[in-house]
Amino acid sequence: MARFRSAAVTEQPTVGAFLDGGKIIARDDDGITIEYPKHLEPSVKMLDRNGKRESLQDVLSRLVGSPTSIHFSISDRVDESPKPAAPNPRPAPRQAPAIETIMPQQQGIPITEQLRAELMATVPLVKALADEFNARLVKVEDVE
């Protein structure tokens, strides 16, 4: 999976990022099945749109040297969802309130995988920064 993910990110950066969180659970003569935890179901749905699955199949076919299909599945296991951080048993020392609590932050535009992919494809600076620094777009703000 690591080799496939690396090749996909290199050849199709906006599509390859969707492989994060998935794991290959089966391989047969026809292709592979990649399973995702339940909390990544929206990402899996994005893979079935606009030729993303086909792009990944092309990358995988070149890696294995023959036409290979990709199937996706969603795990029903609850234990794969993100776990909250363990509470700190010792209370933190008292500090002055952070600036964020004094000055409200702008919320920005909620980022979706579709918006992230669109910005990577249409804004050259965003794509260049993501490629150069292996960055991931997490927030979009309207700057006046």
Q: For the chain, give every domain's residue range.
A: 2-79, 102-144
Q: What are the tens digits of pLDDT across the range 56-73?
A: 888 888 888 888 888 888
Q: What is the pLDDT of residues 82-139, one digit of tens each?
A: 555 555 566 666 666 665 555 555 556 677 888 888 888 888 888 888 888 888 877 7
Q: What is the pTM of this model?
A: 0.50
Give the Cα separation of 37 and 83 in Å (integer): 12
Which residue is it, tokens 């309207």? 142
The predicted-structure confidence for 33-54, as pLDDT tens digits, reads as follows: 889 898 888 888 888 888 888 8
What is the architecture, at CATH level 2, of domain 2-79? 2-Layer Sandwich (3.30)
Question: What backbone torsions phi and psi does residue 25 show, to the nearest 5 degrees?
Answer: -110, -15
Give the separation between CA 136 and CA 129, rounded to whole angstroms: 9
Q: Are the beta carbons of 38 and 74 closer than 8 angstroms?
A: yes
| Residues 70, 53 contacting (CB under 8 angstroms) | yes
Say which residue, 137 or 80, is predicted with more confidence. 137
pLDDT at 80 over 50: no
**Predicted confidence (pLDDT) at residue 74 exceeds the cutoff of 80:** yes
Q: What is the DSSP letter of 66?
A: S
